């Protein structure tokens, strides 16, 4: 049939040749030459032809021409050219868009182990998704069939291509959307590639997406970050380099990270990692609430207060869901410390938090409620105060001896706020009555 004719013909030519390697190299090189006009840019008509041949070579299967050879011979250079021309290449031409999607699909890392017939049959794992051409884009995924698999070793050049796309300024919009739609949001790439990347690379990809969302306001980057299976330690790492008290974009970044935390609240992992995440969120909360830094961003009290509330919401979700684990980690630390220095190192790696730290955190919450911590700017919203009190109660269950001394000031401050509010309402009613008379 028509859709299978070209892949079948190319397979026969390559396999029947006395020098199949040379034929492969010739076909790939000519695809690249066809798409490019010397060093000037892309040929519109040539791009369409190159996309057709490269797609056919993919369907030939790994035994005829491997994904690695297609990437090394043409994909890498074509991708770099798309990057170098940037938004100058954001043409609506269908041929150019098809070539871009064809090259980007190589980054998915999915190998076609067997040549694909025109009728894909019941065992072929094919996903249909959006492409930048406006049509639906076919791509192969890893599933129950042995016809497809993920590359055993994901090439560094592919990782670099992804990172270069998201860190380039100005952002090559259509290329970045193609990378996200056809690669980063696909389960085969997430499960087969991302989960196997080293920690540093995973953090780099996450940081690039976070920067796109926070600094350039690209919502698609935030939703993509939300879908990546980041560990609790990796989420904590993202928080370490943010200064929300001094940067509005960092406030947005904190909001995105807290969304990610709450989105996986039931699977945050070890108590030690959870404690570190909690401590880092408390650090950000203190930074946003300290009087010395409160005027760092002029006219942004609303954004600052909103960020404080969502941090409190996230902290409450963490401590409410992991009361037993965090309380047990504190007991472990106390017992290890009481039993002598020989076991001290084990406790440090286990919990990462102490009674003293919990006591300081409780004092911050009292300050947010308008209590004794004079260096803390109190919260103005009722929701924020309710979250602070709820979190204080969680900490009391976790470490009663460390928190109980903070409860009375907290309750007193709430009573004062309530009394002041009632007084204001009474005064307002009296003023209204006097005006009426």
Give the model confidence (pLDDT) of 398-433 as tens digits.
888 777 766 666 666 666 655 554 444 444 444 444
Question: Can you tell me the distance from the alpha carbon of 230 to that of 221, in angstroms, rounded to the nearest whole number?
Answer: 15
Closest by CA to 67, choosing from 108, 95, 14, is 108
Peptide bond just before 170 cis, omega within 30 deg: yes
pLDDT at 345: 39
Q: Which residue has better confidence, 311 or 1?
A: 311
Whether the per-residue pLDDT at 315 is higher than 90: the answer is yes
Given a cut of 70, whether residue 90 has pLDDT beyond it is no
DSSP secondary structure string for all residues of 297-366? STT-HHHHHHHHHHHHHHHHHHHHHSHHHHHHHHHHHHHHHHT-GGGHHHHHHHT---HHHHHHHHHHHH
Q: Over 50: is that where the pLDDT of 121 sits? A: no
Per residue in 228-266, pLDDT tens? 999 999 999 999 989 998 899 999 999 999 999 999 999
What's residue 139's pLDDT?
Answer: 55
DSSP state of 371: S
89-95 long-range Cβ contacts below 8 angstroms, 24+ apart: 89/41, 89/42, 89/172, 89/175, 90/172, 90/173, 90/174, 91/44, 93/44, 93/47, 94/48, 94/133, 95/44, 95/45, 95/47, 95/48, 95/49, 95/51
Mean pLDDT of the chain: 82
Q: What is the rounded CA–CA span in Å between residue 139 and residue 127?
A: 5
What is the per-residue pLDDT for 126?
Answer: 42
Residue 335: pLDDT band by 50, 70, 90 thresholds?
A: low
Residue 136 has pLDDT above 70, yes or no: no
Question: Which 8-state DSSP code applies to residue 74?
Answer: I
Each residue of 6-26: pLDDT tens digit? Answer: 999 999 999 999 999 999 999
Cα 146 → chain centroid: 30
Provide the token pair at 94.
């269908």
pLDDT reported for residue 75: 96
Query: 36 has which bridge partners?
Result: 42
Contact 238, 282 (CB under 8 A): no
Q: Write the burial class of residue 38 (CB in 10 Å: 0-12 exposed, 13-18 middle, 19+ buried).
A: exposed
Are 288 and 244 in contact, with CB atoms under 8 Å apart?
A: yes
Instruction: Output the DSSP codes for 256-293.
Output: HHHHHHHHTGGG---HHHHHHHHHHHHHHHHHHHBGGG
Output the pTM of the full model.
Answer: 0.82
Distance separating the N- and C-terminal Cα atoms of the chain:
93
pLDDT tens digits, 210-223: 999 999 999 999 99
The Cβ of residue 361 has, within 10 Å, a number of other Cβ atoms equal to 26
Percent of the chain with pLDDT over 90: 54
Measured CA to CA, the distance from residue 66 to residue 58 in angstroms comes to 8
Distances (CA, A) of 189 to 50, 197, 227: 25, 11, 12
Q: Work out the average pLDDT over 97-119.
A: 84
What pLDDT, on a 0 to 100 scale, did the predictor assign at position 408? 67
3-state secondary structure (DSSP) of residue 139: strand
What are the distances in angstroms from CA 414 to CA 215, 312, 371, 381, 389?
Answer: 38, 17, 8, 12, 9
Separation of alpha carbons 68 and 109, rounded Å: 9
Round to whole Å and give the CA distance between 98 and 101. 5
In this structure, are residues 352 and 279 in contact, taking their beta carbons and an 8 Å threshold? yes
Give the model's pLDDT for residue 400.
83
Q: Bridge partners of 411?
A: none
Compute the distance between CA of residue 61 and CA of residue 51 in angstroms, rounded to an integer: 16
Query: Which pLDDT belongs to residue 300?
Result: 58
> Which comes out higher in pLDDT, residue 291 or 347?
291
Tokens of 34: 């066809």
Structure token pair of residue 154: 């994901």
For tokens 């190159």, what's the residue? 50
Look at residue 374 in the predicted model and tell me its pLDDT.
Answer: 66
């Amino acid at each position: 049939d028509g859709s299978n004719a070209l892949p079948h013909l190319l397979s026969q030519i390559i396999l029947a040749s006395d020098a199949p390697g040379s034929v492969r190299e010739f076909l790939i090189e000519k695809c690249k030459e066809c798409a490019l006009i010397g060093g000037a840019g892309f040929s519109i008509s040539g791009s369409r032809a190159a996309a057709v041949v490269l797609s056919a070579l993919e369907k030939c299967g790994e035994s005829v021409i491997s994904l690695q050879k297609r990437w090394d011979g043409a994909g890498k250079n074509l991708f770099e050219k798309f990057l170098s021309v940037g938004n100058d290449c954001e043409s609506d031409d269908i041929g150019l868009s098809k070539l871009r999607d064809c090259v980007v699909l190589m980054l998915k890392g999915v190998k076609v182990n067997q040549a694909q017939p025109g009728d894909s049959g019941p065992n072929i794992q094919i996903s249909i998704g959006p492409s930048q051409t406006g049509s639906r884009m076919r791509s192969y995924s890893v599933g129950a069939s042995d016809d497809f698999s993920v590359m055993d070793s994901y090439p560094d050049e592919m990782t670099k291509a992804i990172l270069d796309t998201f860190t380039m300024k100005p952002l090559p919009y259509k290329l970045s959307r193609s990378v996200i739609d056809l690669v980063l949001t696909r389960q085969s790439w997430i499960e087969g590639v991302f989960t196997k990347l080293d920690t540093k690379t995973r953090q780099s990809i996450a940081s690039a997406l976070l920067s796109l969302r926070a600094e350039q306001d690209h919502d698609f980057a935030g939703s993509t970050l939300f879908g990546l299976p980041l560990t609790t330690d990796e989420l904590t790492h993202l928080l370490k380099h943010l200064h929300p008290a001094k940067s509005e974009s960092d406030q947005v970044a904190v909001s995105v990270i807290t969304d990610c935390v709450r989105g996986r609240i039931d699977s945050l992992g070890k108590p030690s990692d959870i404690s570190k995440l909690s401590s880092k969120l408390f650090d950000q909360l203190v930074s946003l609430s300290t009087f010395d830094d409160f005027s760092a961003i002029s006219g942004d009290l609303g954004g600052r207060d909103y960020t404080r509330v969502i941090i409190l919401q996230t902290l409450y979700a963490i401590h409410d869901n992991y009361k037993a684990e965090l309380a047990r980690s504190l007991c472990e630390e106390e017992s290890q410390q009481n039993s002598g220095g020989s076991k001290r190192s084990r406790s440090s790696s286990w919990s990462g938090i102490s009674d003293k730290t919990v006591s300081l955190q409780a004092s911050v919450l009292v300050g947010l409620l308008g209590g004794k911590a004079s260096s803390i700017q109190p919260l103005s919203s009722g929701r924020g105060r309710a979250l602070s009190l709820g979190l204080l109660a969680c900490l009391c269950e976790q470490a009663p001896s460390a928190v109980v001394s903070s409860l009375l000031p907290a309750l007193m401050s709430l009573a004062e706020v309530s009394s002041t509010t009632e007084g204001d309402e009474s005064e307002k009613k009296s003023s209204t009555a006097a005006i009426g008379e």
